[in-house]
Structure 1
C-alpha cells in the first residue's frame, strides 16, 4: 500500500519544485500546445530564479507530496499580495495542485487539496479561489466535487495564444 506524506517545502526544495512542476505541466498541457510554446513556458515559469523567489515569498506556501523518497506532486497557495488576481485578504488562492500522471486517481490531489483547506483554516480565511483551464474537465470536476463554483473567467497566455481559465470559489464560513 502506498503511504503518501505531505511536507512543507523550503527554499532548499527548489529543484524538486522545478522538476515536478515541469514534468506535471508538460504531461497535462503538451498535447494542447506546440513544443516551442511549451519549452518557452517551462523555462520561464520554472526557472531557478522564479522558483526561488516564489519559495522565498512569505505569502506563498508550498507543500510537496512524497511517495517514500520520491516527490510525486506539490501544492502552492497564495495569500494577501501574493495572490495572482483577487488579492483579497480574507481569501486563499490555490495557484497549483500538480500531481504526476502516474499518481492520478490515487487521491494525491485530494491530499494536497486537504492541505490547502488546513492552511486556509489556520489563517482564518473566509474563502478559497483558483483558476482552472476551461479545457481541463478532469480538474474542473475535481474542484466542483470539492464545493467550488465558477464566478468569473480570465485569460492565460501560452505563447501568443490566449487561453481561458475559469475562476472558481469556495466559501469556508
Structure 2
C-alpha cells in the first residue's frame, strides 16, 4: 500500500526474507541478537506480519503485528488477550518522523488485524520517555488500559557477543477494531 504525505511517497508492505539483513543494518546495527530477524520469524511462522515502510529501497519504519495479543504477563494476566492483535517493535527513523510513516504502518496493521478476525489491538509505549509516540497513538484512538505502568525487559548482544538486559517502564494502550 503506497502513501503520500506532503510530497513524500512511501510504501508499507510485509517484510520479505531477502530484505531482513538490510532492515537489520538500518534499524538495529548495534544489536547482534538480531531482533529484526526474530520479528520476521513471527511472520514466517504465521503468527503475525512484520510491516515495513519503504522510501524506495530504504526501510524507514516498521511494526510487528502479532495475532496472539501481548505476551507480557503484566497484561495477559489482567485482560483476555484472545482476539487481540498486538503491535510491537515500532520504530521510525529520526529523519522520517512526523511524516505519516508510523500512522500508515499502524493503519495497515489495524486493517490486517481486522481481516485476521481480531476485535482489538494494543501496544506498549514508554511511560515517560516517549511522549510524542504516546500522543500519536492516542490521536489514532488508542486508550490507556487503566491498570498502570509495568516494566518490560529484553536481551540484546553487542559485536563481541556480550549479552545485556535492557528494561523500560511502559503502559499498555488499546483500541477496538
Structure 2 length normalisation: TM-score? 0.75
2:71: which partner in 1?
Answer: 84
Matched-pair contact (CA < 8 Å) for 2:67–2:116:
no
Matched-pair contact (CA < 8 Å) for 1:126–1:171:
yes
CA-to-partner distance for each residue in 1:6-53, whole Å, 9 max, x for gaps? 121122222133123316xxxxxxxxxxxxxxx5xx2225375x3553
SS at match of 2:98: coil
Which of these residues, 41, 65, 68, is aligned with residue 53 of structure 2?
65
Give the number of aligned pairs. Answer: 153
Question: Partners in 1 of 2:58 and 2:19 — Cα distance?
Answer: 13
- The structure-2 alpha-carbon separation of the partners of 1:89 and 1:11, relative to structure 1 and needing over 3 Å to count, comes to farther
Task: Mark the runs of 5 or more structure 1 residues left unpaired by the alignment.
Answer: 24-38
Matched-pair contact (CA < 8 Å) for 1:97–1:112:
no
Structure 1: 4+ residue segments shifted above 4 A: 158-162
1:8: which partner in 2?
Answer: 14
Give the helix-richer structure, 1 or 2: 1
SS at match of 2:8: coil
2:158: which partner in 1?
Answer: none
Matched-pair contact (CA < 8 Å) for 2:20–2:36:
no
Matched-pair contact (CA < 8 Å) for 2:54–2:60:
yes
Matched-pair contact (CA < 8 Å) for 2:24–2:36:
yes
Matched-pair contact (CA < 8 Å) for 2:86–2:121:
yes
Task: Mark the runs of 5 or more structure 2 residues left unpaired by the alignment.
Answer: 1-6, 155-163
Find out whether 1:155 has 2:160 as its counterpart. Answer: no
Question: Partners in 2 of 1:109 and 1:19 — Cα distance?
Answer: 20
Question: Partners in 2 of 1:52 and 1:114 — Cα distance?
Answer: 19
Question: Partners in 2 of 1:137 and 1:54 — Cα distance?
Answer: 28
Q: Which aligned pairs between 1:3-152 and structure 2 lie closer than 5 A? A: 3-22=9-28, 42-44=31-33, 46=35, 50-51=38-39, 53-80=41-68, 83-85=70-72, 86=76, 88-134=81-127, 135-151=129-145, 152=147
Question: Partners in 1 of 2:120 and 2:50 — Cα distance?
Answer: 19
How far the C-alpha of 1:123 sits from its partner, in A, is 1.2
Matched-pair contact (CA < 8 Å) for 1:97–1:113:
no
